[in-house]
A and B are shown apart, each in its own frame.
Chain A
Amino acid sequence: MTSIVDKGYLAVKPQASANTPVIPTIFLPYITDNVITNQNFERDMRLFGIDWSGLDILRGSKEHAGDIEFYVDPFTVGHFLNMAMKKGATTNDGGSPLVYTHPFTAEDSDRYTIEFSVGGYYTRRYFDVRVNTLDISIDNGKVKGTANVRAGGEWSVRNLKTALSGAVTSLTFDQSYSNYPAKGLVAGDTLIIGSTEVEITGVALDLQSVTFGSKSITASAGDAIYLKCQTPSYEDKRPIIMFENVLIGAGADAATALTNATCANQTQVNEISLSVNNNLSSDPLSGDDCGPRNIQATVKDGSLTIRRLFSDISQVQKWINASKQAFVIKMLGTLGNSTTREEVRITINNAKLITNNNPVNQGGFVYDEQEFALLYDEDDAQAIKVELFNLEDGTDY
C-alpha cells in the first residue's frame, strides 16, 4: 500500500497543564515539517571478543524536535504564537463581528499536544510541545513562519505485550520503547491493531495498558499497534498575509514607531526576517523515559534582518553610534469587520545594528543590509510584544 504525503495534516491543541496530553482538534494548514523523535542510537561498542564494530545499537536520551513551516494567516499563526510566547488577556473592538486582540509577551508559553498524520496512514503525536525558535520571513510575496518545536514525548507505534484472542476489553503494551508505553494516549483515541479498531475508554494509571469496549481481537505478542489518523476538519481559511500588506514604522522609540506605521510615514524595505529564540532547555529528567521533561524558556533573544535601498547615511550613523531604534511591524490581513483589520503587529522596543553593510553589486542600487540585535528596553520594560487581531475569541488558546 502506498500513501500520499498530501493526505497528511497537522492538528494542535493547548494542554491544561504539563504531562497531560489531549486529542488535538484544531487543524492548521501547513507547508512541511521535519519533526522527528531522535532516540540517539549509537553502536554498542562494548567488547564481545569479535573484530566487528558492534553487535547491536544502544538507545540514548530521547529528543523530539524539528521545524514546522506555515504561511502566516491570522488564524494559524495564533497557535504558533501561543506555543512560543505567553498570551495575555484578550480584548475586543466592540464591532460586529467582534475583532479580538490577543497580546503575547516573551515568557513561558502554553504546552501543546500536536499530531502529524503520515499520509493518512498513522499518526505521530507529540505532547508537551513548545516553540524553541519562531522565524518570520518572506517567501515569494507571502509571509512565512518557521517554528522549531520541542516536545516532551511522542506516541505513534507500540507493540502488543501479550497475545489476544476472542472478546477482550483491554490490551497491554510491551516496554520496547518506553517503561511507560501508554503515556501520550488519552480516552477517545482510536488504536489500530491488525485490521481491528478500538476506541480507548481509559488509560491505566501505571501507563502499561488501555481499556475499551468489548471487541473480538486475535493478535500475537509483538504485533504493532498504532494511532489512527483523524478525519481532519478546518475552520474557514483566512487569507495568507502578503508582504505587500506589511507596514513598518520606525522611530527612536516604540511609541514613535507605532505613529510611523502608516502608509504616509512607513519605512519601506525589500526584505525582512525576524527570529525570536526561547533557547528552550530540554534536559532529560530521571524517572521518566519518555523524553525531556523540563522544556522551558531560558534567556530569550531575537534578531531582525532588513534589506532596504540606501537613501542617506542615517543608518550608517546609527550603526557607528550603536543607537537605539524601534520598529512596529504591522502585518495586515483583510477587514474583520467594517473598521478593524485582522493583523499581526510586532513591536520591537530596542533594536541596535550589529552590522550595516552596503555591498557592491555592479549594475545595481546600493542597499543597506542590516542585522539588528533585539534588546530589552528599560523604558518600555520589554524587548518584544506581538499583538494578534483576529476573529477568534481566544478560548482555543
Chain B
Amino acid sequence: MEYKNKTKKDLVLMGYGKVKAGATIKTNKKINNANFEEVSVKKEEEKIIKDKEIKI
C-alpha cells in the first residue's frame, strides 16, 4: 500500500518517520490518519496516461 501526505506540511508519521508535504510512503500496514490518503494503483496509472496525453 502507498500513502500520500495530502497536507501542505511536512509531518512526522509515528513509526514511519518524516514525510514531506505531497510525498508518499510505502507500507504493508493500513495507515489510519486523515492527513494521509491511500494512493490506488489505478489512480496512478490514470495519471501516467493523462500525463502522456498532455505531452502528445
Contacts and interface: CB of A to CB of B under 8 A. Distances in A.
Interface of A: 23, 25, 188, 190, 197, 228-236
A230 B12 contact: no
B11 A233 contact: yes
Nearest to B9: A235
A234 B32 contact: no
A25 B36 CA distance: 10
Contacts, number: 41
Interface string B1-44: 00000010111111110010000000000111111100000000
B32 A229 contact: yes
A234 B10 contact: no
B32 A233 contact: no
Q: Which 3 A-B pairs have the closest CB atoms?
A: A233-B11, A23-B34, A233-B13
Most buried by B among A229, A232, A233: A233
29 contacts: A23-B34, A25-B34, A25-B35, A188-B34, A190-B32, A197-B30, A228-B32, A229-B32, A230-B33, A230-B34, A231-B14, A231-B16, A231-B32, A231-B33, A231-B36, A232-B13, A232-B14, A232-B33, A233-B11, A233-B12, A233-B13, A233-B19, A233-B36, A234-B11, A234-B12, A235-B9, A235-B12, A236-B10, A236-B12
Contacts of B12: 233-236
Nearest to A190: B32
Contacts of A197: 30
Nearest to B29: A231
Nearest to B3: A231
Contacts of A188: 34
Given A232-B14, A233-B12, 14 more contacts: A23-B34, A25-B7, A25-B34, A25-B35, A197-B30, A228-B32, A230-B32, A231-B13, A231-B15, A232-B33, A233-B13, A234-B11, A234-B12, A236-B10
